[in-house]
């Protein structure tokens, strides 16, 4: 699967969309047809994991609580936080078993100005990535996105779902 090609993201259009559109995670949870092509990897009563729509690395996945919460440390009690982190770890291990990586970044990003629904990024860094292209550089969409077809996304998602089974 050739997922190394990088394409540019129109950051102005992206910012306009995330600031004005409804919550994308709530839309996925409610099965909004506009999000029908999202590749769901894991789901339980409280959590959801899916391939990122704008991946910067192969296997880039988002993990989120289904309930709309915005703050990791204020909106989740300790039990809910620990349950969420168990799912993040489970998904990260499955992604690592399918996608070669020298390190997997796990972090919560978002903004009250857009994409405020709490979510964790699980981002497997490809082996051999030069140091200056690692860490935040590797995560930044302005450094390019993977261009992949729906069929490639479906195939990768199937492999990760199998690893989760």
- d(Cα 107, Cα 72) in Å, to the nearest integer? 11
Q: What is the domain-level CATH number for residue 35? A: 3.30.428.10
Q: How many domains does the chain have?
A: 1
The whole-angstrom separation of Cα 62 and Cα 42 is 10
Whole-number pLDDT of residue 114: 67
Q: State whether residue 6 is helix, strand or coil.
A: strand
pLDDT at 90: 98
How far, in Å, CA of 37 to CA of 118, rounded?
Answer: 21
CA distance 61 to 105: 10
58 in a structural domain: yes
128 in a structural domain: yes
154: helix, coil or strand?
helix
Residue 2 has a pLDDT of 46
Which residues span the domain enclosing 42?
6-164
Neighbours of 77 (CB within 10 A): 9
pLDDT at 118: 92
Q: Which residues of the chain have pLDDT under 70?
A: 1-5, 114
Structural domain includes residue 51 = yes
* Assigned token pair, 160: 């990760």
The contacts of residue 26 (CB under 8 Å, 6+ apart) are 68, 117
> Is 1 part of a structural domain of the chain?
no
95: in domain: yes
pLDDT of residue 20: 79
Residue 18 near residue 160 (C-beta atoms within 8 A): no
- pLDDT for residue 4: 59
Which of 56, 49, 66 minimizes the C-alpha distance to 157? Answer: 49
Is residue 83 in some structural domain? yes
Q: pLDDT tens across 116-138, in order?
A: 899 999 999 999 988 888 898 88
- pTM of the prediction? 0.90
Strands 120-125 and 103-108: antiparallel
Q: CB burial class (10 A; 0-12, 13-18, 19+) of residue 124?
A: buried
């Amino acid at each position: 699967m050739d997922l190394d090609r990088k394409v540019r993201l129109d950051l102005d259009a992206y910012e306009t969309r995330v600031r004005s559109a409804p919550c994308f995670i709530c839309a996925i949870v409610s099965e909004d047809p506009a999000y029908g092509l999202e590749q769901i990897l894991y789901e339980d009563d409280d959590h959801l994991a899916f391939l990122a729509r704008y991946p910067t690395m192969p296997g880039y996945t988002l993990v989120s609580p289904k309930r709309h919460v915005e703050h990791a440390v204020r909106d989740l009690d300790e039990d809910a936080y620990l349950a969420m982190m168990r799912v993040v770890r489970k998904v990260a291990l499955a992604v690592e078993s399918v996608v070669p990586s020298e390190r997997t970044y796990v972090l919560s990003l978002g903004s009250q100005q857009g994409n405020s629904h709490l979510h964790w990024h699980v981002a497997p860094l490809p082996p051999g990535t030069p140091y200056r292209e690692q860490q935040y550089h590797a995560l930044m969409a302005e450094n390019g996105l993977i261009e992949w077809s729906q069929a490639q996304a479906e195939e990768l998602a199937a492999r990760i779902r199998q690893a989760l089974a």
